[in-house]
Structure 1
C-alpha cells in the first residue's frame, strides 16, 4: 500500500472541501481499501465521511429516501423497504457476506469497481485501470465478462446487485458539490465504457453522493431479485434479474426489468418491458418476453453461454414475481 494522508470530516462542507482538494471519500471501505492494498487505487489523501448526517432512511411524498451512508444490512432490514421494495432487500441480502453488509454503505455500493481479474492484476493490460493500455480480457479467459454494453476497450461487468434493483425501480441519485446540488436518474449515473472505460460514473470531481430516492410504485411492491452464481454465497452474479410487475384484473399494467452479471453497467430491458405491458400473465408470455433480453448481445470466446442463461434468468424471475400459469 502506498503512503496517504487520512482525515475525518465532521460536516458535509468539510468533506466537500477535502474532495475539492483531491481527497477520496471513505465510508465502509470494503472495496477501496482492498484496491489500495492491491495498488490498483493509489489515493494521496483519504477522508473518512462516516460522521456525516447521511445515514437515515425516510419517507418522501413520492417514495423512500435512503441516505448514502446507510449500511446495506440496515437498509435490507428496514420494514418499509422489505414491504414496499422487496427487490432491494433481496438484492442486498444476496450481496457479499453478513460482515461486509454491516460495514458497506449504500453510496459505496454504487461506487464499487469491477471484479474483473485483469483490472485487479496490475501486471496486466486494463484500460479501466490505465487508460490506453489495452484490455487483456478480450483475448484472455473471459467467461465471467459482459455480453451487453461492451466496447473494444472494455468488457468488464458491473459488480453491484443493488444497482440492478435500483435500475429496475427507477431510482434517483442525489449528488452534492461545493457549489451545487443535482440529481441523476440511475440510468444516467452509470456510464458505459465506450472509449473511456476509466470513467464509470457521472460524478464530477469532488462530488459526494448524499442519498438515493426510490419511488413507491405498484410494480415496486411486487418485485424481486434473482441472482445466478457459481456458488451459493459470497460470489458475484453470472446473471441476475430484478423484476417489478403491476398486475390488476389479470393484465400487466406496468413492468420493470433490469439485469446484472452480463453487462458493463446495470442493464435495463425496455424491449422485455414492452412485451409485457397489456398482456396477461402466462408461462408462454414470460418466455417470449425474456427472449428479447439478449438483444444486442456480443458474446466473447468463453461466455457465449450467458446469452441463454440471461433469457432463462429473466423468464424465471418473471414467473416468480408474476406467477407461472
Structure 2
C-alpha cells in the first residue's frame, strides 16, 4: 500500500477544500477503496474522511426520502420508511454483503464502487483499460463468466458490482453532489457511465465533487417491489444477474412497471424497453419473454457468459410472476 496522509472533514465545506487536491480521495466506509489501495489499483496520497457527514434519513415534503451519503447500509436497509415504501432497496442492500460490511459501508461509497473484474485487480499480470487507459483489455480473451453483455465496448467488458444501485436505478433516484461549482442534481440513470473509449471514468462526477445525498421520489408503485439476485454460491457473491422490479396491476394488465438489471452491464441497467413493452399489456409469461427479448436484442455475449440473457429473462419472469400474485420474496 502506498503511504498516505489522513484528514477528517468537519463539514462539507472543509471536505471540498481538501478534495480540491488532485492527489486526494474521499473516504466513506472504506470497504472498497481500502481494498483498491492494498492492491495498488488506487494510490491516493491523502484520504479525506467524510463518513461522519450527511448521515441522516429524512422524509421530504413531496413524500419522498432524502438519504445522506454517509448513511450506513445497515441503517438504510433497516429504516421503517424504506422497508415499507421501497422494499426493493432494502432487499438489494441485504443481498449485497455480509452484516459486517453493511455496518461499515456508506450509501455514497456504494455508488462509487469499482468493478470486481479479476483483470482490473491483477496489477501484476493483466492489461486493463479501466485501471491503465490505453493498455488493452485482457478480459476479452480471458474468462468472462461475470462480464457484461449489454453496453460494453472494445475497451472494457466489466460489470458494475453494486446491488443497491440496481434498485436505485429502478426507483428513479437523484444524486445530489457538491463541488467547486456549487450543488447539482444528477438523475441516477445518468450518474454512471458506459465504458466507451474511457472505461477509467466510472461516473460523471467532476474532480473534487462530493456526493452529499440520494433522493428517492414519492413512488407509490415502489411499495410493491422486490429484488432478486442470482449468484454462483449461496453465500455473499457478486451477481451473475439480478432484477429489481416494481409492479402495479389493473386487473390482469400492467398499469405501471419499473425494471432494472444488475450483472449485465458496466452500469445498473434500466430496462426501458421492457417497461414500454409491458405497460398496458396482459401480464403473462409469453409477454414478459417477448419484452425481455426486445431488451436483450443488442446483447453481445462473450465466450463464457452467453447464458446471461436467458438467465435474466427467467429471473424476470419469476420476479414479475411473484409480484403479480402479491408476493415479494
- Counterpart in the other structure of 1:96: 97
The runs of 5 or more residues in structure 2 that have no matched partner are none
1:105 aligns with 2:106: yes
Matches within 5 A, 1:46-125: 46-52=47-53, 54-60=54-60, 61-123=62-124, 124-125=126-127
Could you tell me the TM-score, scaled by structure 1's length?
0.97
1:276 Cα deviation (Å)?
Answer: 1.3
- Counterpart in the other structure of 2:6: 6
8 Å contact from structure 2 (residues 51, 106) kept in 1: no
Matches within 5 A, 1:164-183: 164-183=166-185
- Counterpart in the other structure of 2:29: 28
The runs of 5 or more residues in structure 1 that have no matched partner are none
1:262 Cα deviation (Å)?
Answer: 1.1
- Counterpart in the other structure of 1:45: 46
- Given candidates 195, 199, 202, the residue that maps to 2:197 is 195
Secondary structure at the aligned position of 1:199 is classed as: coil
8 Å contact from structure 1 (residues 175, 210) kept in 2: yes
127-136 or 275-284: bigger deviation:
275-284
Could you tell me the TM-score, scaled by structure 2's length?
0.96
1:206 aligns with 2:218: no
- Counterpart in the other structure of 2:16: 16
308-317 or 199-208: bigger deviation:
308-317
1:62 Cα deviation (Å)?
Answer: 4.1
1:136 aligns with 2:138: yes
285-294 or 241-250: bigger deviation:
285-294
Deviation digits for residues 181-203 of structure 1 (CA, Å, limit 9, x no counterpart): 00010111000000000011000
1:289 Cα deviation (Å)?
Answer: 2.6
**Hey, what's the Cα distance between the residues in 1 that align with 2:41 and 2:209?**
21
8 Å contact from structure 1 (residues 191, 200) kept in 2: yes
**Hey, what's the Cα distance between the residues in 1 that align with 2:175 and 2:300?**
29
Deviation digits for residues 46-96 of structure 1 (CA, Å, limit 9, x no counterpart): 1111232x0111111141111101111110000010011011000000011
- Counterpart in the other structure of 2:294: 292
1:310 aligns with 2:317: no
**Hey, what's the Cα distance between the residues in 2 that align with 1:178 and 1:291?**
44
1:216 Cα deviation (Å)?
Answer: 2.5
33-42 or 302-311: bigger deviation:
302-311
1:249 Cα deviation (Å)?
Answer: 3.8
- Counterpart in the other structure of 2:254: 252
**Hey, what's the Cα distance between the residues in 2 that align with 1:80 and 1:284?**
35
- Given candidates 217, 220, 224, the residue that maps to 1:218 is 220
**Hey, what's the Cα distance between the residues in 2 that align with 1:184 and 1:197?**
20
107-116 or 313-322: bigger deviation:
313-322
